Chain A
Amino acid sequence: NAGVTQTPKFQVLKTGQSMTLQCAQDMNHEYMSWYRQDPGMGLRLIHYSVGAGITDQGEVPNGYNVSRSTTEDFPLRLLSAAPSQTSVYFCATADGPNYGYTFGSGTRLTVV
């Protein structure tokens, strides 16, 4: 039982490049979310999903796309990386709104 697996753990991108951050879970949780955490700040919601085929925007969705074709996977795509997207990205899952999130270990992304 791996829980929530995020890959890669570290990534350096050049401005304008695109990439996909992967998030996979083996807990059969319906809820999945992506957050970014900037130094000294809280977590800001990028996109979230309440089940396969259902996604919605969070607080800071611009520059990011998501899809949820399966319960297990919730990839986050950066369309054209910008230095302002330098951050730590966390994927989190929950077994519905009456439960707290289980977080992945995070992806540290630097855009130069």
Chain B
Amino acid sequence: DAKTTQPTSMDCAEGRAANLPCNHSTISGNEYVYWYRQIHSQGPQYIIHGLKNNETNEMASLIITEDRKSSTLILPHATLRDTAVYYCIVQMKTSYDKVIFGPGTSLSVIP
């Protein structure tokens, strides 16, 4: 079973911020939180990752709670091209055999 839980689906109005939550209550101290997204039938695209501090890049921001049991991916100004399945995973760096992708959150950006 995946070590993360995410809502099955979410809608977001175009131009608004999309806030995608993820619960990872059993995360261990050396596991990172990674976010990927997958547009239909394409390979997953890396978005962002973090250990315990909040992170920001050109695509998104990642907010990790102080106890590290949950996180939120923020797309500040969602566009139609952000419609995709978003995966939150936890992993130790380079331990890919332990990575479990759950079903993710299907985000629909509405015009």
Decide whether A and B are members of one complex. no
Interface residues of A (CB under 8 A from B): none
